[in-house]
Amino acid sequence: MITPQERFALACFAKNIWKHGVQQDALIIDGGCYIGASTVALAEGLKRSDLPESERHGRIWSYDLFRTTPAMSEHYLKGSGLKAGDSFRAIFERNVSNYADYISVQAGDIQLAPAPSKAIAVLFLDILWSWDCTVFVGRNFYPRLEADHSLLVHQDFVYPFYPWVILSVGQLTDFFAFAYNVEYSSVVFDVTKRIRERDIDDPRNIPLPAALRIYDTLIDRLEGWHQGAVALGKALYLASLNRIAEARQLIDEIAVKFRNEALVMQYVDSIRLYCDSAVSQGKPVPLDQGVGI
């Protein structure tokens, strides 16, 4: 589920982060390891790092529900024999077997699993399927990041369907600086200031004008099709607040402007359908109700 560029970037961070002042016993977090692609990328980098072999052990904490969703059983894990609800942990274990000593598996809901006990060197997040989970991770993981040394990587950033990712980071511009967009979806952030638990507000409470400003600032910061994908996220966010006319107008503008960008157009129909269904049902379905079911 990650691109070759993302795989390369994760390996690079896990290899080199130790030379840049981070605590030498800090952890690497793979939040949402699925069947292991991101864990393997991080482990490959860690193996090439200067850390002694014994100090690599248990260094990567991989979190996942390991629970097959209907979409996984119908598409991504088709042919595995797994049905919705089954555990896919055995596939993960097989895929990461060359690096088993490096990995500490945290199975189950991240909101109930052990939170990191040490500083976090690299926090890779591909797990934020809801507003609640985003607030939880913000309060329990972000304070373990070290200012000027750690990295935060959001895999689902240039992606229209998770407004909580965009808005929660947009609330924290005093603490995170946009560093780099890794094709296709990941964005890497530098940590500019230590975060405390009390700095994390629920992004559902952001007043609409401020939320739209967060989107607009980010869209300006991105380039090409990435702008269109995040602009569609803004439209979907408006639709989720039942502002269907504004959402539809924005979708129409984006569909014209990015008509030759397949990576933008791939999302348009489903966001239009979301608007249609909100109108026919009288209200929009909360966006996090549709994830992972």
Ligand X SMILES: C[S@@+](CC[C@H](N)C(=O)[O-])C[C@H]1O[C@@H](n2cnc3c(N)ncnc32)[C@H](O)[C@@H]1O
Instruction: Write out the residues near ligand X by the rule CB under 6 A.
Output: 1-2, 32-34, 37-38, 63-65, 67, 109-111, 126-127, 129, 133, 292
List beta partners, residue 189.
152, 178
Nearest CA to 38 out of 124, 127, 142 is that of 124
Lookup: tokens for 93: 């274990």
Which residue number, 43 or 250, has a Cβ lying nearer to ligand X? Answer: 43
Query: What value does the CA radius of gyration of the chain take, rounded to a whole number of Å?
Result: 19
Lookup: tokens for 127: 């797990």
Which residue number, 89 or 193, has a Cβ lying nearer to ligand X? Answer: 89
Which residue number, 84 or 147, has a Cβ lying nearer to ligand X? Answer: 84
Distance of closest approach, residue 46 Cβ to ligand X, in angstroms: 15
Distance of closest approach, residue 111 Cβ to ligand X, in angstroms: 6
Q: What is the rounded CA–CA span in Å between residue 79 and residue 55? A: 38
Lookup: tokens for 73: 């059983």
Which residue number, 127 or 145, has a Cβ lying nearer to ligand X? Answer: 127
Distance of closest approach, residue 272 Cβ to ligand X, in angstroms: 24
Distance of closest approach, residue 242 Cβ to ligand X, in angstroms: 26
Q: What is the rounded CA–CA span in Å between residue 230 and residue 227? A: 5
Distances (CA, A) of 270 to 203, 235, 265: 24, 12, 10
Distance of closest approach, residue 279 Cβ to ligand X, in angstroms: 29
Distance of closest approach, residue 193 Cβ to ligand X, in angstroms: 27
Which residue number, 211 or 229, has a Cβ lying nearer to ligand X? Answer: 229
Which residue number, 46 or 110, has a Cβ lying nearer to ligand X? Answer: 110
Altogether, the residues listed in the chain come to a count of 293
Q: What is the rounded CA–CA span in Å between residue 286 and residue 275? A: 12
Q: What is the rounded CA–CA span in Å between residue 279 and residue 117? A: 47
